């Protein structure tokens, strides 16, 4: 076997070395950032350790805990209910529970603070109905606990998606065995299903944690001191590049810890289950149980999508006359253009890396493929800072090329996931057959893998497009002069306390994201056959 792998590697060495060279280019900003840490001022590092580092660390960890708690509650239980029961509205909820992903977390934060404010609809209504209740609700909602709950509402679909797929693939064998042992439905869920699905749930939770670490807009608006806001403050407000670099490197270590923990968890959990017959769903005849199940699914959809969507829609209608539609069209065009170009490049780069790993069988390619996936775990502030350090002596900083380059680093792992799942479904024998027919690697990729993986490529494009469209930190740092997107314009209105004027721009983001998520949901169902 080792001899065969050696010859396979030798035959494809140009592709292997090409992938290694490309990986080095993509990792170069992170390498430069890490090197800069050791050349930075020790005085600055001591100042950070004595004054702000503990505050940043505690706030970041606390925010992760709160967000993770809400994401787990809102993601796991609806996923189990939809996977295990037939009830009124089940198919509807299975579709719409993904939609909060269309609302960027910073828009979720801005919207709810506007709703809960003194002049918002809730307090205005209570003042008319009951002055006593109005006094109770008249509080400062710019708190880290409120922020964690709102981020949980925005990010729970990551946990829901992973849990939903896992629950559907576990199959009925384990459920039947647990019932034969006398376990109740709840005991089966708690003692059997949850342990079996733990790797999938942790994978979804890992994405939630990474999004929290990357979050800037909502965190800055709430006045919470985290590593990301600290990097921006040191860099842009104080002009302390050395401090920003050192904070970024410390955050990089934290991210690496979570990244390794996630990989270790997955590696040691592969034996947990294998696919068997699908779970036989229970048809609910008791209307009380049916209402309860519907309510559990309705709550995250209602607060995670309906409330912010209709509030934003109402603000957009009220500020219709103040909207600069020429600018709106321009920013929409900018957003769609840069997201489309970057997404197309990303899916082909992802396919290239995965294809080389498949045909070469080289362990070094497996290692580099995991290493370049680190980009998604890195906050945009780290990537942006690394790129500026790398290209500071060139005139490329502030160009669309650099912005797209940053998007590639940040979202390459997003595109890899659906493409890898599709490639793994096809046996290696089809590659051998192609070689026997005289196909070289390029023709093998072009004539075989592109056609049979087209749906995965489309899925990868959609999910990457949505993420880029919502991305804020990287765009704020690296966008060209006078180049705004829907995300940056929404943020700028919010920080100027003109949230109603941001509604139209937010509405376009949500509408585009929702439409693409619905398309993506259809592709996912076809690929994994989830019912």
Which domains, ranges and CATH numbers included, belong to the chain?
319-531 (1.10.3720.10)
How many other C-beta atoms lie within 10 A of the C-beta of residue 425? 11
Q: 374, 414 in Cβ contact below 8 A? A: no
Over the stretch 39-52, which tens digit does the pLDDT of each residue have?
766 777 777 777 78
Angle at 213 between CA 217 and CA 515, to 5 degrees: 60
Angle at 158 between CA 304 and CA 111, to 5 degrees: 25
- Which DSSP letter does residue 472 get? -
Over the stretch 267-326, which tens digit does the pLDDT of each residue have?
655 544 454 455 566 676 677 888 888 999 999 999 999 999 999 999 899 888 888 899
Helix ranges restricted to H, 453-485: 454-470, 473-478
Over the stretch 223-251, which tens digit does the pLDDT of each residue have?
888 888 888 888 777 777 788 888 888 88
CA distance 301 to 316: 21
Residue 215 has pLDDT above 60, yes or no: yes
CA distance 401 to 480: 9
The pLDDT value given to residue 52? 81
User: What residues contact residue 3 under an 8 Å CB cut-off, 6+ apart?
Assistant: none
User: What residues contact residue 66 under an 8 Å CB cut-off, 6+ apart?
Assistant: 144, 145, 147, 148, 149, 151, 152
Whole-angstrom CA distances from 481 to 398, 419, 471, 484, 493 are 7, 35, 18, 8, 18
Angle at 416 between CA 529 and CA 462, to 5 degrees: 65
- Name the residue with tokens 């934290």: 254
CA distance 212 to 379: 9
Q: 513, 471 in Cβ contact below 8 A? A: no
pLDDT band at 10 (very low <50, low <70, confident <90, very high): low
Over the stretch 95-151, which tens digit does the pLDDT of each residue have?
899 899 889 888 898 889 888 888 778 888 888 887 777 777 777 778 899 999 999
Q: Could you tell me where the beta strands, DSSP code E, fall in 333-492?
A: none
The pLDDT value given to residue 136? 75
How many other C-beta atoms lie within 10 A of the C-beta of residue 295? 10
pLDDT band at 332 (very low <50, low <70, confident <90, very high): very high
Give the residue-averaged pLDDT of 174-191.
71
Mean pLDDT of the chain: 82
Element containing residue 382 per DSSP (H, E): helix 380-391
Helix ranges restricted to H, 189-240: 194-214, 217-222, 227-232
User: What residues contact residue 24 under an 8 Å CB cut-off, 6+ apart?
Assistant: none
Collect contacts of 125-133 with beta carbons under 8 A, ≥24 apart: none
Residue 62 has pLDDT above 90, yes or no: yes
The pLDDT value given to residue 409? 92
Give the residue-averaged pLDDT of 320-343.
92
Residue 70 has pLDDT above 90, yes or no: yes
Count of helices and strands (H, E) across the chain:
29, 2
Angle at 410 between CA 39 and CA 341, to 5 degrees: 130
465, two tokens: 């497009």
Q: What pTM did the predictor assign?
A: 0.83
Q: Could you tell me where the beta strands, DSSP code E, fall in 198-342?
A: 282-283
Instruction: Provide the β-strand partners of residue 85.
Output: 282
For 41, the 3-state DSSP assignment is coil
- Name the residue with tokens 């497009």: 465
């Amino acid at each position: 076997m080792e001899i065969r792998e050696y010859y396979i590697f030798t035959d494809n060495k140009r592709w292997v070395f090409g992938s290694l060279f490309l990986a080095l280019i993509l990792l170069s900003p992170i390498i430069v950032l890490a090197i800069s840490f050791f050349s930075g001022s020790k005085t600055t590092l001591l100042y950070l350790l004595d004054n702000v580092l503990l505050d940043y660390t505690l706030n970041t960890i606390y925010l992760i805990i709160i967000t993770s708690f809400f994401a787990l509650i809102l993601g796991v239980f609806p996923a189990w209910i939809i996977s295990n029961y037939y009830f009124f509205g089940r198919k509807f909820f299975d579709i719409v529970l993904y939609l909060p992903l269309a609302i960027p977390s910073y828009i979720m934060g801005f919207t709810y603070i506007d709703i809960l404010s003194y002049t918002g609809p809730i307090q205005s209504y209570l003042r008319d109905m009951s002055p006593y209740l109005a006094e109770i609700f008249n509080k400062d909602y710019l708190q880290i606990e409120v922020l964690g709950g709102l981020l949980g509402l925005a990010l729970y679909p990551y946990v829901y998606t992973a849990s939903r797929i896992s629950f559907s693939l576990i199959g009925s064998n384990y459920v039947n065995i647990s019932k034969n042992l006398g376990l109740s439905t709840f005991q089966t869920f708690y003692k059997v299903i949850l342990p079996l699905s733990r790797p999938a749930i942790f994978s979804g939770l890992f994405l939630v944690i990474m999004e929290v670490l990357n979050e800037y807009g909502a965190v800055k608006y709430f006045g919470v001191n985290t590593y990301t806001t600290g990097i921006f403050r040191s860099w842009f407000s104080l002009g302390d590049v050395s401090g920003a670099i050192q904070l970024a490197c410390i955050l990089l270590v934290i991210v690496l810890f979570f990244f390794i923990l996630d990989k270790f968890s997955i590696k040691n959990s592969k034996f947990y289950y294998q696919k068997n017959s699908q779970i036989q769903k229970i048809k609910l005849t008791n209307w009380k149980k049916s209402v309860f199940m519907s309510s559990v699914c309705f709550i995250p959809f209602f607060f995670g999508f309906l409330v912010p969507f209709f509030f934003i829609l109402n603000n957009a209608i009220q500020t219709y006359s103040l909207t600069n539609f020429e600018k709106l069209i321009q920013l929409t065009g900018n957003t769609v253009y840069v997201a489309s170009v970057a997404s197309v490049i990303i899916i082909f780069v992802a396919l290239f890396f995965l294809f080389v790993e498949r045909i070469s069988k080289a362990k070094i390619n497996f290692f580099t493929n995991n290493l370049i996936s680190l980009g998604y775990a890195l906050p945009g502030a780290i990537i942006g800072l690394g790129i500026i350090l790398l290209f500071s002596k060139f005139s490329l900083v502030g160009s669309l090329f650099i912005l797209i380059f940053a998007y590639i680093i940040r979202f390459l792992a997003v595109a890899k996931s659906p493409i890898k799942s599709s490639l793994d479904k096809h046996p290696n024998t089809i590659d051998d057959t192609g070689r026997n027919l005289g196909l070289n690697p390029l023709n093998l990729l072009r004539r075989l893998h592109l056609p049979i993986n087209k749906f995965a490529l489309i899925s990868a494009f959609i999910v990457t497009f949505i993420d880029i469209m919502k991305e804020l930190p990287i765009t704020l740092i690296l966008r060209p002069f006078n180049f705004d997107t829907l995300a940056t314009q929404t943020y700028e209105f919010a920080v100027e306390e003109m949230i109603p004027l941001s509604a139209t721009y937010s509405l376009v983001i949500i509408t585009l994201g929702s439409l693409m998520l619905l398309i993506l949901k259809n592709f996912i169902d076809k690929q994994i056959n989830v019912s």
